[in-house]
Amino acid sequence: MTVEEKQRTATRRPEPDTGPAVIASGQTFAQVTAQISAAPLLRRNIPALWYISFALGLFFTLVLLYSATYLIFRGVGILGIEVPVAWGYFITNFVWWIGIGHAGTLISAFLLLLNQSWRSSINRFAEAMTIFAVMCAGMFPLLHMGRPWLFYWILPYPNTLTVQPQFRSPLVWDVFAVSTYFTVSVVFWYIGMIPDLATLRDQARNRLVATFYGVLALGWRGASRHWRHHETASLLLAGLATPLVLSVHTVVSFDFTIAIVPGWHSTIFPPYFVAGAIYSGFAMVLVLALPIRYAFGLENLLTERHINNCAKLMLATGLILAYTYAIEPFTAWYSGNEYEMYMVHNRAFGPYAWAFWGVIACNVVIPQLLWFHRFRVRPKPLFAISLVVLYGMWLERYMIIIGSLHRDYLPSAWTNFIHTVWDNAITFGSIGLFVTLFALFVRFLPMISMYEVRELLPFSRPGGGSEK
Amino acid sequence: MTDSGIYGVMAAFDDPAPLVDAARLLHEHGFRRMEAYTPYPIRQLDEYIEQGPQLPPVVLAGGLLGTATAWGMQYYIAAIDYPTNIGGRPLNSWPSFIVIMFELTILFAALAAFFGLLALCGFPRPHHPAFNGRNFTEASNNRFFLCVESRDPHFDRDTITGLLYELEPLEVNDLEGD
The CATH number for A56's domain is 1.20.1630.10
Q: Provide the whole-model pTM.
A: 0.91
Residues 416-455 of A with CB under 8 A from B: 451-452, 454-455
- Band (pLDDT 50/70/90 cuts) for residue A411 is confident
Question: Is the residue at A120 inside a domain?
Answer: yes
Compute the average pLDDT of residues A349-366: 94
CATH 1.10.3470 fits B6-52+128-176, yes or no: no
- The confidence score (pLDDT) of residue A10 equals 66
- Range of the structural domain that residue A352 is part of: 3-456
Q: Which of residues B82 and A466 earns the better pLDDT score?
A: B82
Report yes or no: A259 and A265 within 8 Å, Cβ to Cβ.
Answer: yes
Q: Does A46 reside within a domain?
A: yes
| pLDDT over 70, % of chain A | 96
CB B54 within 8 A of CB B41: no
Nearest CB neighbour to A168, from listed B51, B96, B127: B96
pLDDT in tens, B51-79: 778 899 999 999 999 999 999 999 999 99
| Cβ(B80)–Cβ(A162) below 8 Å | no
In chain A, the residue whose alpha carbon lies closest to the alpha carbon of B73 is: A156
Condensed to tens digits (0 to 9), the pLDDT of residues B103-161 reads 999 999 999 999 999 999 888 888 888 888 888 888 888 889 988 888 878 888 888 88
Residue A384 lies in a domain: yes
What string of DSSP letters covers A428-456?
Answer: HHHHHHHHHHHHHHHHHS-SS-HHHHHHH
Q: Does B127 touch chain A (CB under 8 A)?
A: yes
Confidence of residue A1 (pLDDT cuts 50, 70, 90): low
Tell me which residues of chain B, numbers 12 to 71, contact chain A at a CB-CB cutoff of 8 Å: 14-17, 19-21, 35-46, 49, 51-52, 54-56, 59, 63
Distance from CA of B162 to the nearest CA of A (A): 22
Residue A349 has pLDDT above 70, yes or no: yes
DSSP state of A223: B
Q: What's the mean pLDDT in A318-323? A: 94
CB B128, CB A221: distance < 8 Å? yes
Mutate to test the interface with A, among B140, B145, B146, B149 (most CBs of A within 10 A): B140
CA-based nearest residue in chain A for residue B44: A462
Q: Which B-chain residues 132-151 have CB contacts (< 8 A) with chain A?
A: 137-142
Q: For residue B167, is pLDDT > 90? A: no
What pLDDT sits at residue A14?
A: 46
Chain A contact set for B16 (CB, 8 A): 3, 459-462
Strand partners, B144: B13
Q: Alpha helices of A42-169 — where are they, by DSSP H?
A: 48-74, 89-105, 111-113, 123-144
pLDDT of residue B71: 94
Give me the number of domains chain A comprises: 1
Distance CA A427, CA A438 (A): 17
Q: Which of A178, A229, A245, A247 to mutate to test the interface with B (most CBs of B within 10 A)?
A: A229
Q: Is B75 on the interface with A (CB under 8 A)?
A: no
Checking if the pLDDT of A123 tops 70, the result is yes
d(CA A95, CA A273): 9
Q: Chain A closest CA to B177's CA: distance in Å?
A: 16
> Where, residue-wise, is CATH 3.30.70 in chain B?
6-52+128-176
Name the residue in chain B with its Cα closest to that of A198.
Answer: B140
**In this complex, do A227 and B59 lie within 8 Å of one another by their Cβ atoms?**
no
Residues of A in contact with B81 (CB under 8 A): 164
Which residue from B minimizes the CA distance to A187?
Answer: B114
The answer to whether residue A3 scores a pLDDT higher than 80 is no
Question: What is the C-alpha separation between A109 and A111, in angstroms, rounded?
Answer: 6
Q: How far is A323 from chain B (nearest CA, A)?
A: 27
Q: What is the mean pLDDT of chain A?
A: 89
Q: What residues of A are in contact with residue B100 (Cβ under 8 Å)?
A: 167, 172-173, 176
